[in-house]
Structure 1
């Protein structure tokens, strides 16, 4: 996992446009992540990233190496947040079945919202850049494994509470739910009603009984 603290310090551009050498690395990564998320990697130019982050090219290259290096750290930041938010929803103070239902419904609401038309950064990156991008591949695979692990843990809690069929293989169900989550994110990129997506969630939960 790349840690921003280990990145090289940005080049000194204090005399260019009067910009100080220091900048907020987290804000830069967040801004770049939004650009990649909305436009995709290939369609995003270095100039667009400079405009979005406020960095000069030299500072961007000095901090991240190149456009792809910035993609990696932006993806990792987004992925960490996505996994943390999913974990929080799945571990809410509700019965396990309802926790899982609410977590899945979160994706239906995102998909029904116009802002959801951008899809999911994780899903978008996988569809656009795999299988060719061997550098990004382990980040995507690890992220999907982390999401699957959270879903599997939710299944186990549901089985222990008697909400789900105890005879089901929790790992297989976790992968099944991962497929559902990613499918909801892909469907969210097209015109499909929240009602139809909610029906998918309800059918999914019935399969666990």
Structure 2
């Protein structure tokens, strides 16, 4: 998405107010999310966001309220995708144990590459913004709850199929799995080998049978 070259945002009052909504809000949110993911919230300037989205300051403010509103929108968009992808993996063909293992192995593959990237957007936002930011806190908590709900449902399916220990509390197990997933992301940032992370997944699944 390119910024118009014939308009100078610093010299035109009209441009400072922002041009009319004529852009893809999802595309802009995604572009801003990548910057927040790479740099963090506090290190990201409005100028950088304008450059990455192709919009003027006034347009961003008009669409999102302020920089914080843009962060919340970017987080929500990322979270929706993360939850949807997890649900899709857990709903794939195969036994409940196989589908859960494959879903968890996805996180090992991602984690093994995190030393080359910037970690998980959800985790990064939680570390940088909490506990002070109550708005972000509510979004992080809601997202983690939705992820845990998907994991709990996978555990129940495994219990019903006779593959997991029926005496296990699915809510406790889902929290355990959520902690494990977040731990994988941390280990991935310190160049842990993927095969070591796979061993963690297999050990985790053995605890469920």
Q: Aligned-pair distance for 1:189?
A: 1.8
Aligned length: 196
Task: Note the aligned Cα RMSD (angstroms).
Answer: 1.9
Indicate conservation of the 8 Å contact 1:148/1:174, yes or no.
yes
Indicate conservation of the 8 Å contact 2:36/2:71, yes or no.
yes
Q: Aligned-pair distance for 1:16?
A: 4.3
Q: Which residue of 1 aligns with 2:56?
A: 56
Which whole-Å CA distance do the structure 2 matches of 1:125 and 1:206 have between them?
32
The 5 A counterparts of 1:33-112 are 33-112=33-112
Q: Structure 1: which 5+ runs fail to align? A: 1-12
- Provide closer, same or farther for how the CA distance between residues 116 and 156 of structure 1 changes in structure 2, counting only shifts above 3 A: farther
1:141 counterpart = 2:135: no
Which whole-Å CA distance do the structure 2 matches of 1:171 and 1:124 have between them?
25
Indicate conservation of the 8 Å contact 1:75/1:122, yes or no.
yes
Indicate conservation of the 8 Å contact 1:116/1:188, yes or no.
no
Superposed CA offset, 1:100-142 (max 9, x none): 1011100110112257631111111011111011111110000
Indicate conservation of the 8 Å contact 1:156/1:170, yes or no.
yes
Q: Which residue of 2 aligns with 1:118?
A: 118
Q: Aligned-pair distance for 1:186?
A: 1.9
Superposed CA offset, 1:56-104 (max 9, x none): 0111111111100000010001000000000000111110001110111
Which whole-Å CA distance do the structure 2 matches of 1:48 and 1:92 have between them?
40
Which whole-Å CA distance do the structure 1 matches of 2:110 and 2:116 have between them?
5
The 5 A counterparts of 1:175-186 are 175-186=175-186
- Provide closer, same or farther for how the CA distance between residues 161 and 102 of structure 1 changes in structure 2, counting only shifts above 3 A: same
Which whole-Å CA distance do the structure 1 matches of 2:151 and 2:129 have between them?
25
Q: Structure 2: which 5+ runs fail to align? A: 1-11
Q: How high is the TM-score relative to the length of structure 2?
A: 0.89
Q: Which residue of 1 aligns with 2:128?
A: 128
